[in-house]
A and B are shown apart, each in its own frame.
Chain A
């Protein structure tokens, strides 16, 4: 039996919207494309007996690198009742076209492939919010991978954002993939915790992003 649709609180809607954006970045993001939330136009929530709570969202998204590229998106999120370890179900449809990024992707790919030494970097953005332009694709790639990690670890009572890349190291590979080992910091809103998370990320212009390994890391007591 489904309870009637109700307007959820702004807090709950905010968490559902953040999850939708994370999932969208996981599915549609890349080193040349990151999606940010511009507006939430509607949110409704529905309790489904013995199953969980389902959110219907209408979102407006913006491409980080192409501010004028706006798309509308409808998303449905089902948080499973009593199954805190199960990732929520997310389905979405995007109206409108996302800009093709093949050219920038290939430029990035070739640049990294031609590096004499494996790429290593820290603190992106830095303390003052700066991101060197050549690091922007590395950061967007982290957003894609973090989108996956966030989706897998989200519940109705969490909201995660990627706060910072602490460390990123390129891993040499003999095949065509690029591999990066990231240590990122996730910010969880409700607990306000900063959570270190390791992610091993593979990327190929034609094959997209894969997170082959990821694990939550312990926090230092003082820090």
Chain B
């Protein structure tokens, strides 16, 4: 974790964004609820610019926080006055960053532009976050990065906003990687981002969409899980939260939404890969999107992307009752799937979640649909089981290309059918 954040710091420093001279990382050990409260008080004070590497979880759980030089005295005084124990874990963050920078090693060189990025390879979180910053820097009039929350392990959650102006325009939301092992989805998300930035003028359909709508793209929807798939377990699906003292870690982020939450299409067992969590929106990764969607209030199409099985799905997963807009959604899906197949002949099935794949309770698009976002769809990308989650990198670009054709159909339909 530390190496990871240092790399992020390195990237930020390289981009000229920040230095960390004199910054310290403190490990705070709140032993009681009262001590935890005083720590949370500090969290509220935005001007301190505290960067939590390990967020407060509960009494007894260590909290790691990077404190900028100017905030060191007030933070330490605050903790000491309330008797909250802490130690200095890193005396000078910049010194460590400089040390890392001079180390020649296994670390891959970061590309200098999004044109130099390798779209036909799988990347880790740092590389994808660096890509996002590059894309924004190269396209300041089109792309911006929004932080919508923090994960359980304290990582920032970012959404790219593609907009040609206006205020709260009707919008399309696309997310990839909510299940961390579905690597072709995050990789496709990176490709989509580049495609939008490259084609927003030459692709007439895309230009017409962006003339009136914004596109929000969350590429790594489950950053903690994604890091875990790179470092410990390639087939990890869930978040990395701990609940109710179970030894097992993680919640299925696609069973944690407030739509049929708790139903038989999810599990109450924390060790299960479809564990729903202790309550709806318990996962910060889910809550961040819920808050974003509610605050925005003008999202017209919501597409959540998974792999694998080559399916295009619409609500519902938690009930066999057909969605009120089933007929229209079915027609849109049919058109989208035909467009997808036109690229490489890849065959998709389509239909409601419950009839096409399985019963799933507390799923993303059931919630978004119930919020009134009519064009709510879920994709399951390539393949159908031959490689499954371990899809060869050579298939990333063809998968992204064909999927993009389907996404265009859905976005154009939303544009042409305002509601």
Contact = CB atoms under 8 A, between A and B. Distances in A.
Interface stretch (A80-88, A93-101, A122-130, A209-217): A122-130
A178 interface: no
B152 to A, nearest CB: 14
A193 B234 CA distance: 13
Interface string B315-327: 0000000000000
A194 B387 contact: no
A125 B389 CA distance: 10
Interface string B341-366: 00000010101001111100000000
A192 interface: yes
User: Could you say which interface size class chain A belongs to?
Assistant: 20 to 34
Contact of B235 (A11, A129, A185, A221): A185
A39 interface: yes
A30 B356 CA distance: 32
A223 B232 contact: yes
Nearest to A18: B385
Contact of A191 (B234, B249, B273): B273
User: Could you say which interface size class chain B belongs to?
Assistant: 35 or more
A185 B273 CA distance: 14
A161 interface: yes
B386 interface: yes
A164 interface: yes
Given A192-B274, A223-B232, A10 B392 contact: no
B385 A10 contact: no
Given A128-B122, A129-B391, A163-B388, A194 B232 contact: no
Contacts of B384: 36-37
Contacts of A187: 235, 388-389
Contacts of B390: 125-129, 163-164
Contact of A130 (B252, B357, B389, B392): B392
Interface string A190-206: 11111000000000000
A73 interface: no
B110 interface: no
A193 B354 CA distance: 19
B274 A125 contact: no
B351 A10 contact: yes
A128 B392 contact: yes
Contacts, number: 88
Nearest to A163: B388
Contact of A129 (B237, B247, B356, B387): B387
B356 A163 contact: no
B233 interface: yes
Given A9-B355, A190-B358, A193-B272, A129 B252 contact: no
A9 B393 contact: no
A192 B386 contact: no
A195 to B, nearest CB: 10
Contacts of A222: 232, 247-249
A64 interface: yes
Contacts of A37: 384-385
A30 to B, nearest CB: 17
Contacts of A194: 235, 273
Interface in A120-175: 125-130, 161, 163-164
A194 B250 CA distance: 14
B61 interface: no
B353 to A, nearest CB: 9
A125 B235 contact: no
Interface in A4-18: 9-11, 14, 18
A194 B238 CA distance: 12
Contact of A127 (B122, B247, B347, B358): B122
Contacts of A189: 309, 357-358
Contacts of A190: 358
Contacts of A161: 385, 388
A18 B232 CA distance: 29
A164 B385 CA distance: 11
Interface string B59-71: 0000000000000
Nearest to B387: A129
Nearest to A131: B392
Nearest to A194: B235
A14 B235 CA distance: 22
B236 interface: yes
Nearest to A157: B358
A63 to B, nearest CB: 12
A1 B237 CA distance: 44
Nearest to B228: A223
8 contacts: A11-B358, A18-B385, A125-B390, A127-B122, A164-B234, A187-B389, A194-B273, A222-B232
Q: Which 8 A-B pairs have the closest CB atoms?
A: A129-B392, A161-B385, A221-B247, A192-B273, A10-B356, A9-B355, A223-B233, A129-B390
